[in-house]
Amino acid sequence: MKSIDWARNEVLVFAVIVAFCALAAVSDPNFLSIPTLTDLMRNSIVLGIFAVGAMVVLVSGGIDVSFTAVAAFAMYATTVLLRDLAPDMPWPLAFAIATLIGAVLGSINGVLIAFCGLPTLIVTLGTLSVFRGFLLTFVGTLQISNLPPAMRDFSRWMMVRGTNSDGSFYSLPWAFAALVIIVAATWFILNRTMLGRAIYAIGGAPESARRIGIDVRKTQFFIYVFVGALAGLAGIIHASMARIANPFDLVGLELSVIAAVVLGGARLTGGVGTLTGTLLGVALIVLVRNSLIVIGIPSTWQSVAIGILILVGTGLPAWQAKRAEARET
Amino acid sequence: MISRILQSTEGRLAIITLAVFVTMSVLVPDRFLSPANLTSMAFQFPEFAILALAVAVAMLTGGIDLSVVGAANLSAVTAALFMGHFAGEGTGTGILIAAIALSLAVGLVTGLFNGVLVAIFGLPPILATLGTGLIYTGLAIAMTGGSAVMGLPPAVAWVGNGTILGIPVPLVIFAILAAALGWILKHTAFGLKTRMFGANPLAARYAAMDTDRVLLKVYALCGVLSAIAGLIVMSRANSAKADYGSSYLLLAVLIAVLGGVNPYGGYGRIIGVILAVLSMQFLSSGLNLLQVTNFAREMIWGVLLIGVMLLNLVTFRRRS
């Protein structure tokens, strides 16, 4: 087991990404270029932030499908607030408001799950329709394309900008830094704090976690507030980058995000999951969504491809676990 | 007597259903109780009610089937393409029967595939059916290019729009399926095994039960039920498309849970699912007549789901 462990999802996903890129490079030499890379990175920002949140929930043994609705709610409500009340608010404050709205919505999930003890899938399915229904009924259904100046300025704020040798432009917005910061912060929480250990512990064995003195309820509550806050932030970044606030956006993405996280090796049963795997999973999903056509597969086959990846990505470890179990008994 | 009714999940649900019905009858008396509204309700709910039955059966084993809508659309698209290919003159009754058989076969295959993944390969049901749901939808998209398949023979319309002795055909189909499923779950060895497996998979295996076989059968059943729902949708829309009824997945899960099926497996009754379907449909039609938007309806469904779960909390806790 000291050599490369092919049963690990991270290794598997990385190999698939390399194979995909090799195939793509063969059929289109322009594929391996800086614009492709910046596109990939740009498209990974929102999906990546979502995925980090979804991974933390999976590690704790739960599942959250409501985060896209939280994101849409926070994003649209903040934009409306800015447009009507404070058009000149600087962007950090606007982002803080969206994050706060996300955290508040997340705390509703947290109360229902941690303190009422309801099943996570059912609660978040319910809050998904409640948040979305509330947003579309009471806040609004119209797209806002004339974003407040602060959000527009944020979207124009580029980290890297340049022209390729063939004259095509490429750029990477500073929004990417948000993903980097969130990944770093989450890594710190998960691996360097007692809270992070507690999250892994309650996912691995809730009863044992309780017996060694972990406050399971508080930890669970924190997780859903954290995920809500991340979703709120991802929502406002999404609207800023798309330069439009569409209340119908984002919802429907939740299963793709969970697919990315699961591909990266997180287990639905809890206790297992890494940030590296999650980011690799996101990269693979983004590649499949954007560049399937480059390796000669029509884009109508996109969901078949993602479905097969999910089955293989989760099936291999599951089957190995099952065989190992059969060998023992 | 009253406390006994209140003690069971189904009893409470019956009261909720009745309350919704009475409230709507009082709020919009002339239109809610009109024959036109009652008939239109009877045509509307069977398609998602059958999907809810499928989800409920999977939940009994402690699993879930998220691929029901994908499987329904894939079998409907296959049937529609088949009919489009062979439809010639006449009303096409013969073609229709062949197409129905074909779509049920497709449903069976999709269900068996789910079953193999869950039982043989040991995938968690949520992920297995999430993946296959994408694959089935994706195949339907690839087969149709994403557009609707139209030009079906006239005989198709009967399945979704016809009546038998004045009763809408979809309602008849739903009633037969619900009764059969209720009987299977209660009176056959398969039904008992399904519930036993859901209550405690390990104990079921130690009791020398062939658990793989039970799971295969359960998911195959889900696939066939999905195909039937797909046929009704196809007939009512007079076309088949890869993304019809995409909101039905959430609704089907919601109904199953609302109906008192324990999402951890082991407990659930068909009568509960029927009551949940009826309360949803009453609520939905009533709100529609009150001109409440679809979005508010979605919100009310979510509130209803969480509210009922909170109500059931005590019972679920006691069981687990």
B263 touches chain A (CB under 8 A): yes
Residue A2 falls inside a structural domain: no
Question: How high is the pLDDT of residue B87?
Answer: 67
Which residues from chain A sit within 8 angstroms of residue B142, using beta carbons? 298, 300-301, 304
What is the DSSP-derived secondary structure letter of residue B146? T
The minimum CA-CA distance between B145 and chain A, rounded to whole Å, is 7
- Determine, for residues A315 and B123 on separate chains, whether the beta-carbon distance falls below 8 Å: yes
Least CA distance to B131: which residue of chain A? A307
Which residues from chain A sit within 8 angstroms of residue B124, using beta carbons? 268-269, 314, 318
Which residues from chain B sit within 8 angstroms of residue A257, using beta carbons? none
Comparing A87-101, A155-169, A219-233, B271-285, which segment has the lowest mean pLDDT?
Answer: A155-169
pLDDT at position B89 over 60: no
Query: How large is the average pLDDT for residues A285-294?
Result: 84
Which residues from chain A sit within 8 angstroms of residue B305, using beta carbons? 122, 125-126, 129
Query: pLDDT grade, residue A1 (50/70/90)?
Result: very low
Q: Is A167 exposed, middle or buried (0-12, 13-18, 19+ CB in 10 A)?
A: exposed
pLDDT at position A82 over 70: yes
Question: How high is the pLDDT of residue A53?
Answer: 95
Instruction: Please report the domains of chain B, with CATH numbers, ordered by start residue.
Output: 10-319 (1.10.3470)
B249-287 burial, b if ≥16 CB within 10 A, otherwise e?
A: bbbbbbbbbbbbbbbebbbbbbebbbbbbbbbbbbbbbb
- The fraction of chain B above a pLDDT of 70, given in percent, is 94
Least CA distance to B132: which residue of chain A? A307
Question: How high is the pLDDT of residue A187?
Answer: 95
- The fraction of chain A above a pLDDT of 70, given in percent, is 97
Query: How large is the average pLDDT for residues A258-274?
Result: 86
Contacts of B61 (CB under 8 A, 6+ apart): B125, B194, B197, B198, B214, B215, B218, B265
Q: Which SS3 state, helix, strand or coil, does residue A29 take?
A: helix
Question: How high is the pLDDT of residue B6?
Answer: 66
Query: How large is the average pLDDT for residues A218-223?
Result: 94
A160 touches chain B (CB under 8 A): no
C-beta separation of A143 from A246 below 8 A? yes
What is the DSSP-derived secondary structure letter of residue B240? B
Residue A281 falls inside a structural domain: yes
Query: pLDDT grade, residue B226 (50/70/90)?
Result: very high
Comparing A160-164, B138-142, B298-302, which segment has the lowest mean pLDDT?
Answer: A160-164
pLDDT at position B212 over 50: yes
The size of the A-B interface in CB pairs under 8 A is: 141
Which residues from chain A sit within 8 angstroms of residue B313, using beta carbons? 116-118
Contacts of B29 (CB under 8 A, 6+ apart): none
Chain length of chain A:
329
* Digit-coded pLDDT (tens) for B182-194: 999 889 988 888 8
Least CA distance to A130: which residue of chain B? B299
Which residues from chain A sit within 8 angstroms of residue B254, using beta carbons? 125-126
- More confident site: B178 or B240: B178
Q: Which of A118, A133, A300 sits opposite B296 (nearest CB)?
A: A133
Q: Domain of residue A181: give its range.
A: 9-322
Provide the number of structural domains found in chain A.
Answer: 1
Residue A18 falls inside a structural domain: yes
